Structure 1
């Protein structure tokens, strides 16, 4: 079982996607996202969300992400955060989104 102290170590924040690029070198179809986390600055993420989202509809979308994982190299790209989503049966990822816009960088608790 996870303890409350364990949960508090996970730093989950809101951020807004400000740039999206195709990521042809990824093993699985993915986008390279640039996300604004307010006072935390911008972070990049590789996200396998190409089945349900186009780059155009992702720009300006506020998402939820874990921001305190160590950077991870994926092909020639360094992913700095993990965008959260619900994984469906066909590995389709539906993004977790705040139901109201909030300031970027607010912590999820």
Structure 2
């Protein structure tokens, strides 16, 4: 007797789903999958106008975008905004980047994540610490308030530094 298997993208096994952490934000953190767009309320987001000035391809292609692994992240003493990242950028030498995102993230939740950084910016000293690059993020300016949400560009952990 021949057996036919039908593969699906959705788990048919409740135990498997519980093992992964179920649906929702907590379960998504370990699997690398994110909340579907239809489950997010975008009605409160204000869209900013696009830049009118263009950048030619040659200028853009000079930017060195890298997947970086967060080895360590700590709050910078005497700063309310800055986080200091120790990153693996794939070169074998740790890279330090400072980012003013402490309002949006706690350091311990970022350790182990894979982020995207521009690594060939000139070093910049902040609070006496040299920052060698910039982490990419997206900002939502909220319509009903003067606040904003910031989200680091976090990619699948299977992507190597």
Matches within 5 A, 1:8-87: 8-26=61-79, 29-39=81-91, 41-87=93-139
Whichever structure has more strand as a proportion of its residues is: 1
User: Structure 2, unaligned stretches of length 5 or more?
Assistant: 1-53, 142-146
User: Structure 1, unaligned stretches of length 5 or more?
Assistant: 105-109
What's the C-alpha RMSD, in Å, of the aligned pairs? 1.7
Distance 2:149 2:99 in 1: 11
Distance 2:118 2:92 in 1: 12
Q: Please, what TM-score do these two structures have when normalized by structure 2? A: 0.58
Q: Please, what TM-score do these two structures have when normalized by structure 1? A: 0.83
* Bigger relative contact order (CA 8 A; separation at least 6): 1
CA 1:40–1:3: 2 relative to 1, 3 Å: farther
The aligned length equals 103
Q: Which 4+ stretches in 1 moved above 2 angstroms? A: 87-93
